[in-house]
Amino acid sequence: MKVDFSKIQMKTITGDMETVDLRTAVGNILYMQGMNIKECSLGLDVFHSDGPMELSDEQTAIVRAYVKRLPYVFQEAVERALAEQ
């Protein structure tokens, strides 16, 4: 699956959709809270990504697990991006 973390659609408080760059938020949560080298490395890859990046099923599951630690609007936006693939 390909996801561009720099162009995630997030619903604003007014209900409008806005394109936001979540590479820093998602990359940091994976890198700073990763429990092994695989998760930390994925965090670095997300943070430094430039455009869509290919995620394996395992990496997608890791992103989903860690994004649950972010605020709800971030969770919803990332989940929507992952479901679109």
Q: What is the pLDDT along the chain (85 residues), one digit of tens a residue?
A: 899 999 999 999 999 999 999 999 999 999 999 999 999 999 999 999 999 999 999 999 999 999 999 999 999 999 999 998 6
What confidence score (pLDDT) does residue 27 get? 98
Neighbours of 11 (CB within 10 A): 13
What confidence score (pLDDT) does residue 84 get? 82
* Residues spanned by the domain of 79: 2-83
pTM of the model: 0.92
- Which of 64, 7, 4 has the alpha carbon at shortest distance from 30? 64
| Residue that has been written with the tokens 């099923």 in this structure | 57
Write out the two tokens for 35. Answer: 């429990």
Which pairing describes strands 2-3 and 17-20: parallel, antiparallel, or unpaired?
A: unpaired
How many domains, the chain?
Answer: 1
